[in-house]
Amino acid sequence: MDSANGVDRWLIDHGHPEEGLRTLAHLHSHGDVNDPWVRAEFDQIQDAITYEHENEAKSYVELFRNRSSLRRLVLVCAIQASVQMTGVSAIQYYSPTIFAQIGIPTNKTLQYQGISSIIALIGQFCCILFIDWTGRRWAMIGGKFGNTSFI
């Protein structure tokens, strides 16, 4: 039961539950605040906000205290570092110089960068489909093995 927009949730979260309820009723039941569906969504939003406030992280230090959070932090940093080590960012950044060195005129550089970006988007879409099919772990292991075997 997601709300049509986040205004009602924001109002409820910031101490204006009556106004949030009226907004929900306006969106879903022509202003009837006693509609069962509106009441159920209102209660669900209040429960979610209460849970979030009780379980929210208070500071960045909590990333290092909780073993599960620390593991995730290390994995995320390792993945980002390995992506940077592929050199894709450097190639994109220096592509005008690279294109000039292989004889491509400067006025065509933007066109080729656009083509490269479109190919990258298509590749990313294919990767998303592949990851949905295989799962993240084996796609990451295979990708890292592929990157290291071509060096």
Domain count, the chain: 2
Average pLDDT, the chain: 85
Q: Domain span at residue 145?
A: 87-149
User: SS3 of 2, please?
Assistant: coil
Provide the terminal-to-terminal Cα distance of the chain, rounded to the nearest Å: 50
In a domain, 142, yes or no: yes
Closest CA to 73 of 81, 83, 63: 63
In a domain, 81, yes or no: no
How far apart (Å, rounded) are the C-alpha atoms in residues 22 and 33?
Answer: 6
| pLDDT at 38 (0 to 100) | 92
Burial of 150 (0-12, 13-18, 19+ CB in 10 A): exposed
Report the predicted TM-score, pTM, of the whole model to 2 decimal places: 0.43
In a domain, 76, yes or no: no
| pLDDT at 127 (0 to 100) | 83
In a domain, 51, yes or no: yes
Those residues of the chain that have pLDDT short of 50 are 1-4
In a domain, 25, yes or no: yes
How far apart (Å, rounded) are the C-alpha atoms in residues 16 and 9?
Answer: 10
